[in-house]
Amino acid sequence: MEIQNTQGVDKTKPNGSVKKKFFLILIVILLALAAYGFFWVQRSLKTIKTAEGAIAELQDLRKQNDAMKKEVLRCQEFISQKEGEFGSFEYCKKFIEWAQVNLYE
């Protein structure tokens, strides 16, 4: 007596199933790469904005420092002339003392 396959199930996989799995895995990998790329770009843009802000702040500080150094030179010239109002003389004297401590450390 022969046992027949009554269910009609073929145990070999068709070629289309392997191709579908390959493309599905490929799509998942591409989506993962796209998500990583998106977050990398966002992080890079945030870093660039932070750097631009730091550069702008540094430029402002340099301008302020240059202005204070010019004021020190002006006060030194004013004191060396020994002319002018007493209030301006005291201002320049105290400003130079402050600048020597804070600007020329």
The better pLDDT of the pair 101, 8 is held by 101
Confidence (pLDDT) at 35: 97
Indicate the pTM of the whole model: 0.57
Interatomic CA distance for residues 91 and 101, integer angstroms: 16
The better pLDDT of the pair 95, 86 is held by 95
- Tell me the pLDDT tens digit for each residue of 42-84: 999 999 999 999 999 999 999 999 999 999 998 888 888 876 6
Which residues, at least 6 apart from 96, have a Cβ–Cβ distance to it below 8 Å? Answer: 72, 75, 76, 79
Radius of gyration of the chain (CA): 39
* Three-state DSSP state, 17: helix
15 has pLDDT over 60? yes
Q: What is the mean pLDDT of the chain?
A: 85
